[in-house]
Homo-oligomer: A and B are copies of this chain.
Amino acid sequence: MRRLDSRQSDFDLELKRLTEWDDALDREVDAAVAEILRDVRQRGDQAVLDYTARFDRLPAASMAELEVSEERLDAALAAISPAQRSALEQAAERVRSYHQHQRQESWFYHDELGNRLGQKVSPLERAGVYVPGGKASYPSSVLMNTLPAKVAGVAEVIMVVPAPDGELSDMVLAAARIAGVDRVFTIGGAQAVAALAYGTETVPAVDKIVGPGNIYVATAKRQVFGRVGIDMIAGPSEILVICDGGTDPDWVAMDLFSQAEHDENAQSLLLCPDAAYLDRVAESIERLLPTMERQAIIRASLSARGAMILTRDLDEAVAISNRLAPEHLELSVQDPEALLPAVQHAGAIFMGPYTTETLGDYCAGPNHVLPTSATARFSSPLGVYDFQKRSSVIYCSEQGVQSLGRIASELARGEQLSAHARSAEMRLIED
């Protein structure tokens, strides 16, 4: 794992090189996806069936055959182990409970002219959740993407999950059952995104599509953005650990591994003002790495994109973290509250040595869908607020319009919009 020192003269440049991630658009994928979207929009179910037979080797005579029945969901719930079921149920309960705090309510007030102003907050009607299929099965993603929609009051959540060669994970289906997904279709790829965005004879059009996927899914989401809402398009996962040197170095090493094991582009950074401590973590890494199941991926990720950074002090570590706006930030220090006010940009902040990121990934309560690639500068964890929208409400009294109408008329005339001006002026009582 590479070592950097914030005092080295080329530090800024080295850090920039290390952390840069350019999600360049692939023109070929872009064109292929555009064609699939167009086709599904025109031919509906039949196009989705054709692509599913071709890409997932899952032939079906009708879309109805690709809908997962309630009985199948119940069977999945019965098929997993009691320990797995209990873990899923407890995680769901905690995630639901945390997200309740995010619900926004309508608000209204009267101004001094007797006008009533406010915003009506209401849930989306229908949401689509994309769940990757095949070998990589992530039941936790089902919970994290579905529960905020349910807490928001979304009436219908439609989940799509590809089943290549018919392979479907019981854990994923059980999670869908526990989270309260309303309908599940075993379709995937750009064709599933198209079906959700435009609707087909069988798949209802949704208002927003969330959930991770491969480059075809991400490109399709980007293309349908505007027609429907989407969550952010995720880059590789990242963790930045700030440590004061007081945490068991094995814990920190394992926390870095847990990010690195996702994939070779994942990024694990450790910032600490104590050089001797960095040596101890390096020893832990060397000792623990050979014991890891995903050793090859972890090694590749740490060597390509990982780093230990010696900082002047903890304040500088926080300043560097703010520059990177990491997806996951662990404050593995004795007094994390002292550092929190200075943290400006991060997807999720894990406070103190006990709070390993893993707890947030599964069951602490907060969402694990977080802004990557420095987008925490302007975006937020997936939440209930992503499944609610607002309508402004304006009621002007007869008295109110007398003063507001004059202001509006003056400004509308200044913009050469005379119909605007006259619609206000008509409501004025002549003096």
Residues on A lying within 8 angstroms of B by beta carbon are 23, 83-84, 86-88, 90-91, 94, 97-98, 101-102, 107, 109, 111, 115-120, 122, 124-125, 137-140, 171, 207-208, 222, 225-226, 228-229, 232-233, 248, 250-251, 254-255, 257-258, 260-262, 292-294, 298, 336, 340, 343-352, 354-367, 370-371, 375-381, 383, 385, 389-398, 400-401, 404-412, 414-424, 426-427
Contacts and interface: CB of A to CB of B under 8 A. Distances in A.
Copies held by the complex: 2
21 contacts: A117-B364, A139-B415, A140-B411, A229-B378, A257-B422, A258-B422, A294-B418, A294-B419, A347-B392, A348-B393, A351-B394, A351-B396, A352-B396, A358-B405, A358-B409, A359-B396, A362-B407, A362-B408, A366-B394, A371-B389, A379-B389
Contacts of A120: 340, 343, 349
B255 A117 contact: no
A398 to B, nearest CB: 6
B419 A260 contact: yes
6 A-B pairs closest in CB distance: A351-B395, A366-B392, A257-B419, A87-B410, A348-B392, A229-B378
A346 B115 CA distance: 20
B354 A427 contact: yes
Given A346-B391, A358-B408, A362-B407, 19 more contacts: A86-B410, A87-B410, A94-B404, A116-B351, A125-B377, A139-B414, A225-B225, A257-B419, A292-B419, A349-B391, A349-B392, A350-B394, A354-B401, A355-B401, A360-B392, A361-B420, A362-B411, A364-B396, A377-B389
Contacts of A418: 261, 292-294
A28 to B, nearest CB: 15
Nearest to A206: B378
Nearest to A107: B101
A398 B354 contact: yes
Contact of A250 (B292, B340, B426): B426
A424 B298 contact: no
Contacts of A347: 391-392
Given A87-B410, A251-B423, A255-B423, A396 B355 contact: yes
The CB with the most chain B CB atoms within 10 A, among A88, A251, A404, is that of A404
Contacts of A124: 377-378
